[in-house]
Amino acid sequence: MRNQPGSIVSTYVRDSEQGAVLKVQVQPRASRDEVVGLHGDGLKIRITAAPVAGAANKHLLKFLAKKLRVARSQMSIASGATSRAKRIAIEGISAEEVRQRLTI
C-alpha cells in the first residue's frame, strides 16, 4: 500500500498469516501502564515492570492481551526480546481490530 499525499497510513500494525504483527517501543519502569501513542513507525507503550529477567516482556504481553481482549497465549514476541523496540505477533485478530481496540 503506497501513501497518497495527505493520507495517514498506520505502519505500527500489519496483517500476517496467523493474525497481526504489532510494532511497539516499550518504556519500562513507568509510573503506570498505558498506550502513549505513535513513536516513529511503532506504538509507544509505558509499563511499570522493570526489564529484569524477562519481567517487562511478560508484563507487556499481559497488558496488551487485556487491552486487545485476546488470550495471553495468542501473543508472543516475534523479535526484540532484549530491546525496547519489539514486534508482537498476535494470533486470531486482524490489524484493523488491533487499531480499533488500541484507540490512541
Please tell me what DSSP assigns to residue 39.
Answer: E
**Domain range for residue 79?**
13-101
Residue 2 lies in a domain: no
Q: Is residue 5 part of a domain?
A: no
Could you tell me if residue 8 is inside a domain? no
Spatial CB neighbours of 37, under 8 Å, sequence gap ≥ 6:
43, 44, 104
Question: Looking at the chain, which runs of residues are DSSP E strands?
Answer: 13-15, 19-27, 34-39, 42-46, 75-79, 85-91
For range 52-81, the mean pLDDT: 96
Residue 26 belongs to domain with CATH number:
3.30.1200.10
pLDDT value at residue 11: 86
pTM of the full predicted structure? 0.86
**Mean pLDDT rounded to a whole number for the chain:** 89
Instruction: Please indicate, yes or no, if residue 7 is contained in any of the structural domains.
Output: no
- Kindly tell me if the per-residue pLDDT of 6 is higher than 60: no
The total domain count for the chain is 1
